[in-house]
Amino acid sequence: MKKIIILLFLCFPILAKAQTDSKYLEGAVSLSDGKVVFSTEMQVPAMTKEQIFETLLEWANKRFQPTEKFKARVLYSDKEHGGIAINGEEYMVFNSSALSLDRTRIYYMLSINCEDNQCKISMNRLRYWYDENRNGGQKYTAEEWITDDMALNKAKTKLMPIVGKFRRKTIDLKDELFNEIRSTLGNQMIALGLKPAPTTPESQVAIVQQPVAPAVPAVTETVQAPATTEKPQPKTEADLTLQATRITLTAGGETLEIGKECWGGKNQLFGKDVTYCIIDTQKAMANMLLVQNDTYSISFYLPQSSTPCMVINCKKMMLQNVKGEEAKKMNPACDANKAYNVYVGEIVK
């Protein structure tokens, strides 16, 4: 029995690894005209081509700087057409310990095309220089090394032992770069106080109508007005947020009341409906709830009501620290002399 338990513990790392391999399996590396290309399109409502270009050019110049070891740099930038081309070069580390260092140098081209309200990113021309300190090392291209045919078993259910680690780390690097760009643009939108036209998908926001008192017929000295049969119009989401006198935040099974100055509105970011929750950095409890939990709910209450008139469920996307002046662009009730944390949450069902 003891041996069985030991074997089970030894198997746990293998099982855990297998469970995380799905994002690296079939289809994770795409080909275009026989070449490995990773691409994505990001929707950035309310930002012009020029704003997106300047934001990403600044990010690229900081992220890709030539050093003695690497020649990473911005190759060219074209403000008129919104194009940025970047030569990437860095190490991907597979394993590092006191006794050994297993890594490869990776080269790639990162292309960014900026337009009004969106940008397109592609990563291609990937090459590797592995074990460069041992007899010159070995050089590979992505096409001959990390494609489905090369890096996966015949059933396409597992990564191959050696080339699989290149595929895994390359996909991780791609995700890291794309996420950096996404966060950079999102943070800039917050800093600029940009707010695209709000949208309110009925399937994502629960609106609870308050009971309406029956209409009392108007009476004059001689004539009684007929009772109306027209149904009262439901309040819109904007009406409910404006008329709400209480807002609560629920996360991790705990509910906390927050002030109306904490509501930054509902907009769209990267093609997703999102909310902005503005929390004073000194409000330890509210910040703790949002930092420690990936999902949360924002509830709105009308005067003299114990039942929320609207509940918005969110999945945390990003956190940005802003100054009071920037927070006031999102909600005039914020104090210009304070610092705030802005939590961006994707609206979920």
The three-state secondary structure class of 110 is: strand
Q: What values do phi and psi take at 15, rounded to 5?
A: -65, -40
Mean pLDDT of 85-97: 94
Q: How far apart are CA 67 and CA 113, in angstroms?
A: 26
**Beta bridge partners of residue 145, listed in sequence order:** none
Instruction: Give the pLDDT of residue 13.
Output: 47
Q: Taking residues 270-274, what's their average pLDDT?
A: 83
Residue 212: predicted pLDDT? 45
pTM: 0.66
Please state, rounded to an integer, the average pLDDT across all residues of the chain.
83
pLDDT digits (tens, 9 = 90+) for 128-154: 999 898 888 999 999 999 999 999 998
Whether the per-residue pLDDT at 223 is higher than 60: the answer is: no
C-alpha dihedral sign at 214, 240, 273, 259: negative
If one counts every other C-beta atom within 10 angstroms of the C-beta of residue 212, the result is 9
> Which residues on adjacent β-strands are paired with residue 104?
92, 130
